[in-house]
Amino acid sequence: MLLKTFRWSFAVTALGLALGVWYGGWTAFGVIAILAVLEISLSFDNAVVNAGILKKMSAFWQKIFLTVRRSRPSAACSS
């Protein structure tokens, strides 16, 4: 079940690690692996924080929080 659910995620991760070794050697492999673990842990932490925030919101604000995309300033607007 786990492999069926995350097949593409595992494949992309393995491909990224293999390309890292090919392009930058084992040092690049280590850097990519560390960055991947950091990304996963920070994403999980962000999900936990968001769940705590959502719990305190009314149904109306929960829907807005989950559906409205935050706009980012374009490069042309920044000075």
Domain ranges of the chain: 9-67
The two most distant CA atoms of the chain are separated, in Å, by: 51
Is residue 32 within 8 A of residue 17, CB to CB? The reply is yes
Say yes or no to pLDDT of 79 above 70: no
The predicted structure's pLDDT at residue 78: 53
In this predicted structure, the answer to whether residue 34 has a pLDDT above a threshold of 90 is yes
pLDDT band, very low/low/confident/very high, at 74 (cuts 50, 70, 90): low
Cα atoms in the 13 Å half-sphere on the side-chain side of 68 = 8
Phi-psi region of 70 (alpha: psi -120 to 50; beta: other; left: phi over 0): beta
Greater pLDDT, 72 or 35? 35
Percent residues over pLDDT 90 in the chain: 53
pLDDT at residue number 68: 84
